Amino acid sequence: MSELPSQARVVIIGGGAVGVSALFHLAKAGWTDCVLLEKNELTSGSTWHAAGNVPTFSSSWSVMNMQRYSAQLYRGLADEVGYPMNYHVTGSVRLAHTHERMQEFARVKSMGRHQGMDIDILGLDDLRSRYPFVETHDLKGALYDPNDGDIDPAQLTQALAKGARDLGAKIVRFCPVTGVRREKDLWKIATPKGEIACEFVVNAAGYRAGEVGRMFGRDIPMMVMSHQYILFEEIPELAAWTKEVGHKLPLLRDVDSSYYLRQEKSGMNLGPYERNCRAHWANAADPMPDDFSFQLFPDDLDRLEWHLEDAVKRVPILGTAGLSKIINGPIPYTPDGNPLIGPMPGVPNAFEACVFTFGIAQAGGAGKVLAEWVTQGATEWDMWSCDPRRFTSFAAAPDYAVAKGMEVYGHEYAIHFPRHAWPAGRPAKLSPIHDRIAALGAQFGATNGWERTNWYAQPGDDTSEEATQTFNRDGPWQKRIREECHAVRDAAGILDLPGFSRFRLQGDGARDWLATLVTGNVPAPGRIGLAYFADAKGRLVTEMSIMALGHDFFFLITAAAAERHDFEWLSNHLPQGSAISLQNVTDAFSCQILTGPASRAILSEITDADLSQPWLTHQSAQIAGHWCQLVRVSFAGELGWEIHTKTDDTAPIFDAVWAAGQNHGLEPFGMFALDSLRLEKGYRGWKQDLSTDYSVLQSGLERFVKWDKPDFLGKAALAAEKQRGITRHFALLTLDAPGDCDAPYMSTVWRNGEIVGETTSGGWGHRVDQSIALAMLRSDCAEPGTTVEVEIFGARFSATVHGDAPLWDPANARLKA
């Protein structure tokens, strides 16, 4: 048994596949002074009872990257570390019952091909040739992934452990962590074997991550599900087929019926994700035991009865086999089903690599990503989909986390449609005028917990959840979105926009310090401007609006979802011992957008503010006897103002604007309309078009780079990139014959049979009456007038490149009116 060292550079808490992979990848990166602490034996948590499936499939670009890396790593891991493993690359088939499922498959095929994987769509005859035992009479087709397979989770973990040990890293088993404390710049980790000091610490404690997180003062947004799979006895017909062809069946997933079916030797393994699922350890009446190592829950086969019957109908030979064993073990879930990989919010030099629902499939990639976070402070791929900071404090409320976890589990294979809003756990946070806009017909979606209007329905419109389960552009919302966009174009619209993240920055030297972080100028007092933040490699970290109230006094405004991410980016770069103060004041303020050619006339009836002040200015004003900040900007690309108010003053100011607007054609509009309006202007969305996958220059933002100012973060990298030549460029595209759907995120762009880029946003522009996509293109394809093709759900549509100039009001005459 290993002795506990007194210190290490990194301590990892948790010895499942993910924690050990993190240790292995840290050691491969040259950080060999690392120690992993495991409460019991390696794999004693969810790893030991995991089924061990290794899919690459995902509708998320970043998660697909991570799982693709895992599959590639596992293929060569046994030889790399000298540890034999049972890894079966069988391929997989995913069955489609509906046209919408085939659309999803076509999109994932395109994404996979872009990442270099040979994913393909199968017709029914091809499906039968690969899986002769399947009934296909009610199917539309299937998706085939040749890289899919299964691996022994214990062997995988031990192989990673051997590789880590051989490189010099250390593993201490039977060593639970009992507490942590911060002393100077080090973490002191307490265990029954003594205390170990470290510079960095990683919570990789799996379903016990919440317990470890609380030691750091961190409430982790997670819950624990009971997941069962059934092992069947040998099936003679399957055994004979396998002997004849010399290989196993591909793994079958009937995603519309929500289960997988895998050949296990000459038997089978059925793993359903049932709607009538069960959470464990969710309340005080069902506490998590002190130790659940290598334990299972009692069988609960009744929950799986429908899935078992459906699987037998789909693959009739399954009905000839007896049940051999039922595995029912704990697996953790976050509120969106993705794991937590990255900085622990609000805690210095602490990271998370935990709450993995598909830990075996993702362990390899997660170890790579975590090691990059620790050793480099950033990751190769933009991993916002898994970043712990994507959740704010509301998401850790037990009732919310349990409701969302059960929703995700019960819809594990669900299609994620662009207009669909998942209902569990809502509402979490309401605007002060929620009831007012609901009475106007608001149909809501949630952003960082905030209920925001997507569109406004009229009597008779279909507002059912079922109506939103489509990729088609047209739906009950489309006519209303068009009306909202035209109201903004022709008169005025008002949008309630709660949840903007806001930080108050002030103190001697604040301006000079801010200038070292942003690529462009810091606006003068009374002005507001967009600012872009680059990392040391010149990649685009975030976008904020800087509102200058004084020489050294600013409000920084950013996306609702960016609250923790952006506040930490600023906090981590603050100079120690300075007089600069940074405060998160998000909850104290709210915002409404008033925009359109009649917006000035509306405001003139209710305020004495100087409404002749130009674009990109701001001023304090009074409306209905309440203070507000009128900010002369508009994300919709029309004359307009953002009206920033104290939260408690939102309602009376809205009432005053609404009343004044009735004589000027004022209409409410929602986020779907705003998305259409911003696409026409080429305005970028954070973590859609703006991400660390691209540099500031690639993103078409050189006009926000002031080369002649003193050094700023990323300047050297950007200057070197410019000198080398920018290889990719942002561009607006219009699709010439777009069919029924607009381009979703990460649609592949082709030219002359070659992949030349990908879309980052897409939608219909109701002012220009065209399908629009924002895209990142190979530089030689980004010139205005170039013709390319955009692949949308398997079909390629001709598109015209427009450079990065707006499609609507390119001279900004309406915006500056």
pLDDT tens track for 189-216? 999 999 999 999 999 999 999 999 999 9
The Cβ of residue 389 has, within 10 Å, a number of other Cβ atoms equal to 22
CA R_g for the chain: 27
pLDDT tens, residue by residue, 358-373: 999 999 999 999 999 9
Q: If pLDDT is split at 50, 70 and 90, which confidence band does 767 have?
A: very high
pLDDT reported for residue 737: 81
Phi-psi region of 413 (alpha: psi -120 to 50; beta: other; left: phi over 0): alpha
Q: Are 235 and 267 in contact (CB under 8 A)?
A: yes
- Per-residue pLDDT tens for 358-416? 999 999 999 999 999 999 999 999 999 999 999 999 999 999 999 999 999 999 999 99
3-class SS letters over 621-642: EEECCEEEEEECCCCCCCCEEE
Tens-place pLDDT, residues 489-498: 999 999 999 9
Pairing type for strands 7-13 and 34-37 reads parallel
Q: Helix, strand, or coil here: 361? A: helix
Q: Which residues pair with 422 in a beta bridge?
A: none
**What is the rounded average pLDDT of the residues 103-109?**
98
pLDDT band at 343 (very low <50, low <70, confident <90, very high): very high
Q: 């009937």: which residue's tokens?
A: 254
d(CA 338, CA 501): 23
DSSP 53: B
> Does residue 2 surpass a pLDDT of 70?
no
At 695, list the tokens. Answer: 């540099």
Q: What is the mean pLDDT of residues 92-120?
A: 97
Q: Report the C-alpha gap between 314 and 257 in whole angstroms.
A: 10
CA distances from 122 to 9, 315, 448, 597 (A): 50, 18, 38, 52
- Rounded to the nearest 10 degrees, how much is the dihedral formed by the CA atoms of 309, 103, 476, 495? 110
pLDDT for the residue numbered 604: 98
What SS3 class is residue 19?
Answer: helix
- Whether 1 shows a pLDDT value over 50: the answer reads no
Average pLDDT over residues 469-492: 97
Report the distance separating Cα 98 and Cα 440, nearest Å: 35
Q: For residue 12, give the nearest of 352, 487, 407 by alpha carbon.
A: 352
pTM over 0.85: yes
Contact 429, 586 (CB under 8 A): no
The answer to whether the CB of 198 falls within 8 A of the CB of 184 is no
Distance CA 243, CA 265 (A): 11
Name the 3-class secondary structure at 131: coil
**Angle in degrees, 0-180, between the axes of helices 153-166 and 359-376, rounded to the nearest 10:** 20
Under a CB-based contact definition with an 8 Å cutoff, are residues 251 and 356 in contact?
no
Sign for the pseudo-dihedral over CA of 60, 62, 64, 70: negative
**Interval 16-75: pLDDT, tens:** 999 999 999 999 999 999 999 999 999 999 999 999 999 999 999 999 999 999 999 999
Give Cα 15 distance to the centre of its chain: 26
CA distance 757 to 783: 13
Residue 599: burial class (beta carbons within 10 Å; 0-12, 13-18, 19+): buried
Q: How far apart are CA 187 and CA 194, in angstroms?
A: 14
Please say if the pLDDT value at position 684 is more than 80.
Answer: yes
Residues 375 and 25 sit within 8 Å (Cβ to Cβ) = no
Q: Where are the beta strands (DSSP E) in 114-192?
A: 120-122, 141-145, 150-151, 170-172, 179-183, 186-191
At which residue do the structure tokens 């007896």 appear? Answer: 322
CA 600-604-605 angle, 5° bins: 130
pLDDT at 449 over 60: yes
Mean per-residue pLDDT of the chain: 97
Token digits of residue 654: 């809205």
For the chain, first and last CA: distance in Å?
Answer: 75
Rounded CA-CA distance 238/521 in Å is: 69
Which residues make beta-bridge pairs with 790? 749, 797
Mean pLDDT of all residues in 572-588: 95
- Count the Cβ atoms, other than its own, within 10 Å of residue 727: 12
Distance, in Å, from the CA atom of 23 to the CA atom of 15, rounded to the nearest integer, reads: 9
Beta partners for residue 180, in sequence order: 189
Cα–Cα distance for residue pair 107/794, rounded to 1 Å: 6
* Structure tokens given for 348: 């210095």
**How many other C-beta atoms lie within 10 A of the C-beta of residue 694?**
21
Residue 738: band (very low, low, confident or very high) from pLDDT cuts 50, 70, 90? confident
